[in-house]
Amino acid sequence: MKLPASRRGSKGGRARGKAAQRPGAQQPGAKKAPSAPRERGARTSPSNGVTPDELRELIEISRAVGKDPDLVQGGGGNTSVKTADGRHMYVKASGTALGEMDDRSGWALLDLAACRAVVTQPVAALPPAEREAEVLRLLQATVVRPSGARPSVEASLHAILGRVVIHTHPVGLNALLAARGSREAVRDVIGTAFGEPLYVPYVDPGYTLARRVDRDIEAYRKAYGRAPAVVLLENHGLFVADDGAARCLEISNAITDAGRVWIGGGRINPMDPPLVVASSAGAAPDQEEVVVRGALGKGGAAAGLVRRDDSEVAREFCGKQGSLELASKGAFTPDQIVYCRTRPLVLDGASESWPRKVAAYRAAEGLDPRVVLRPAGKKGGGISAVYYAAPDAPQLRVVAEVYRSALTALLHAPRAGGPRFLGREEAAFIEGWEVERFRAALLTGNSARLRGKIAFVTGAASGLGKGIARGLTEAGATVFALDINPQALETVRGEMPRGKYLPVPGDVTDEASVKAAFAAVASSAGGLDILVNAAGIAPAFPLVDFPVATWRKTLEINLTGYFLCAREAARLLLAQGTGGAIVNLTSKSGLEASKENSAYNATKAGEIHLMRGWALELGKAGIRVNCVAPGNVFKGSQIWNEEYIRACARKKGIRPEEVIPYYTSLSPLGREIEPEDIANAVIFLVSDEARNVTGQTLVVDGGQVMVR
């Protein structure tokens, strides 16, 4: 399928004249894309407050393509712009996201001549690992600023192309480039409106690819009198080069659109996929999803999220005859190997055998699986479900985006000669390549204390619930944050680490609402590791004035809410079969009653006794249950509001402004307790450091209540 006339340029589909010969020229009839206003003469460092023209262009094109997961998945793709004096090149930094580039980060400025010279270095005869280490050193030496920035792995390839370069991994075009007959078919798909495309057979990325493209460009120049505007990399992606940023972006969009048309149009990856899957009230969790996550844990895989792919492309592939055998043959692209592994894990047979299959996969591959396939049965060799596994929601999204690209290739490559998988040696190079390990490590982050753990925190939009949620996310956990206030949840989401705090609006006193919240966790993450019951209220009245409606409301929130959430959490944890931890946030008032606090005293003492019973009941399943009893925590508290402080002042016969200093002075340590202190206590109790601690109450009150 050729491009429409508006994309092809001149009338009749054949470009004519000098405009067609020069990559940077405006094609007749083509609409010029808008570009950012230029600040001429802006050649100083961004750190001096002025953004150079070329950097502004780089940011513009990077954000334009980087926001579309059908063009770049995860940290894939890269861009570059050469300076007007021909001495330097701005290029995307390795392992960073194109869509997040700004004038402070995400790029590196390189010495252009030195970067081009890397391609000619006599290192080809070195063993691959030694060669790539030397190339990395040479590339690093070309960095002008910022100090320590790591240039894109494809920087030397960018250096030998035009002034502006855009490299993407378009889903539709890559489905064609991963087919055995792509060389013959691709010209008909994208046309020649931008000149004859340069087609490059698959070679190892990095230095080897740059050397190959350098030679091919020389041959192309001899044949056509100019450099190519479009370079197609087999089983890899698209490079577009031009003199102008707007024109380069226009060409990239046109080629990408042609690839989309070839696979039937439409999107493969949603532009803003939801991190939490909504569930109807009372919906039961997908038990197989929970069992899959449990099998991964029992088989030795690190904790993380597991989610079923219910996208249109996944459903279409699952219904395809022979899909299981096809998906098990290997990978198409370097990104698939890096983010999804070379092969998926197949969990067939009875679920009791799955942990052994997980262990066998890890022994053979040396890595945890990222894609899990469930066979549909013996007939037809189909697939019943595709699951993705990753340490957190952002990584899970990347795995899904990359594997959907692979599924698209599996579905459409038969139209162009059938799929072309990377060979064992080609895959082994990517698996052992330091550059790709670096990219994957940047996405994964550090090995935090609770990395990969899934937590559910109630009352998480304010007060101690919010402080505990923050502490858990900073320790590496993914927190599903339940609160009755949806607006407050969204506000707090913006304050938390990206993708680690996932709002789940709900009412802890409503059984259907609680069931729906936990069903959302099961469908979004595949299970649970931690529950923290923190939602609560503390109305203060003298006994003779205590309203019965307020008494009942306190019991509903502080006791019934704890019970309902613990029940649903226990159901998930038991189905998963890998243990877990529950923490009830009680109070020092649960140990030593406070004056004029009838409902709070009763419920906080009740929470401790509930904890002890649950610890006895769930211990055999490896589920630990404990309490944290905070002292008076004032910062960010919804309980210590103005009304409550006035009530305390009346009770103690002091002025409202004296209340906080007074209560702080009651503890032997005499210092104010912060939300971080409570969060640290919770983190300890849910971590492996407390693996033999259950049925206990950890008091964090500065010594105000001496528990003996």
Say if residue 541 is in the same domain as residue 689: yes
CA distances, 516 to each of 97, 216, 286, 507, 565 (Å): 34, 58, 12, 10, 11
Say if residue 120 is in the same domain as residue 233: yes
Range of lowest pLDDT (8-17, 151-160, 334-343): 8-17
In a domain, 280, yes or no: no
Number of domains in the chain: 3
- pLDDT tens, residue by residue, 465-522: 999 999 999 999 999 999 999 999 999 999 999 899 999 999 999 999 999 999 999 9
Cβ neighbours of 435 (radius 10 Å): 23
Q: What pLDDT score was predicted for residue 46?
A: 54
C-alpha span between 212 and 384 (Å, rounded): 42
Q: What pLDDT score was predicted for residue 434?
A: 57
Q: Is the pLDDT of residue 660 over 60?
A: yes
Q: What pLDDT score was predicted for residue 305?
A: 96
Range of lowest pLDDT (305-319, 421-435, 553-567): 421-435
Q: Is the pLDDT of residue 538 over 50?
A: yes
Q: Is the pLDDT of residue 282 over 70?
A: no
pTM of the predicted protein model? 0.86
Most trustworthy range by pLDDT among 96-110, 542-556, 584-598: 542-556
Comparing 3 with 637, the larger pLDDT belongs to 637
C-alpha span between 382 and 260 (Å, rounded): 26
Q: What pLDDT score was predicted for residue 287?
A: 79
Q: Beta 143-145 vs 501-505: how paired, if at all?
A: unpaired
In a domain, 16, yes or no: no
- CATH number, domain with residue 384: 3.40.225.10
Q: What pLDDT score was predicted for residue 573?
A: 97
Q: Measuring CA to CA, which residue among 391, 685, 639 is closest to residue 532? A: 685
In a domain, 354, yes or no: yes
> Is residue 432 classed as helix, strand or coil in its secondary structure?
helix
Say if residue 294 is in the same domain as residue 347: yes
Q: DSSP string spanning 593-610? A: --TTBHHHHHHHHHHHHH
Mean pLDDT computed over 597-613: 97
Buried b (16+ CB within 10 A) or exposed e, 646-672: ebbbeeeeeeeeebbeebbeebeeeeb
Domain limits for position 235 = 53-262
The strands making up 107-111's β-sheet, listed across from edge to edge, are: 143-145, 107-111, 88-92, 78-82, 164-168, 237-242, 230-233, 198-200
User: To the nearest whole number, what is the mean pLDDT of the chain?
Assistant: 88
The HSE-up count of residue 91 (CA atoms within 13 Å, CB side) is: 33
- CATH number, domain with residue 464: 3.40.50.720
C-alpha span between 557 and 295 (Å, rounded): 35
**pLDDT band of 439, cuts 50, 70, 90:** low
Say if residue 481 is in the same domain as residue 440: no
Mean pLDDT computed over 386-393: 96
In a domain, 705, yes or no: no
Q: Beta 623-630 vs 697-700: how paired, if at all?
A: parallel
Mean pLDDT computed over 72-99: 92
User: Which amino acid, 479?
Assistant: V
Angle at alpha carbon of residue 257, lines to 252 and 258, rounded to 5° = 100
> Is residue 44 classed as helix, strand or coil in its secondary structure?
coil
Q: Is the pLDDT of residue 33 over 90?
A: no
> Hunting for tokens 């070329």 — which residue is that?
54
C-alpha span between 70 and 145 (Å, rounded): 31
In a domain, 488, yes or no: yes
In a domain, 130, yes or no: yes
Say if residue 77 is in the same domain as residue 126: yes
C-alpha span between 624 and 430 (Å, rounded): 42
User: Which amino acid, 363?
Assistant: A
Say if residue 509 is in the same domain as residue 409: no
CA distances, 688 to each of 66, 402, 530 (Å): 39, 33, 12
Say if residue 502 is in the same domain as residue 536: yes
Say if residue 689 is in the same domain as residue 563: yes
Q: Is the pLDDT of residue 635 over 90?
A: no
- pLDDT tens, residue by residue, 668-685: 888 888 999 999 999 999
Say if residue 621 is in the same domain as residue 565: yes
Q: What percent of the chain shows pLDDT beyond 90? A: 72
Buried b (16+ CB within 10 A) or exposed e, 263-297: beeebbbeeeeebbbebeeebebbebbbbbbbbbb
Say if residue 471 is in the same domain as residue 613: yes
Active site residues: 600
In a domain, 655, yes or no: no
Say if residue 578 is in the same domain as residue 694: yes
In a domain, 90, yes or no: yes
Q: Is the pLDDT of residue 47 over 90?
A: no
**pLDDT band of 76, cuts 50, 70, 90:** confident
Say if residue 328 is in the same domain as residue 408: yes
Buried b (16+ CB within 10 A) or exposed e, 444-482: eeeeebbbbbbbbbbbbbbbbbbbbbbbbbbbbbbbbbb
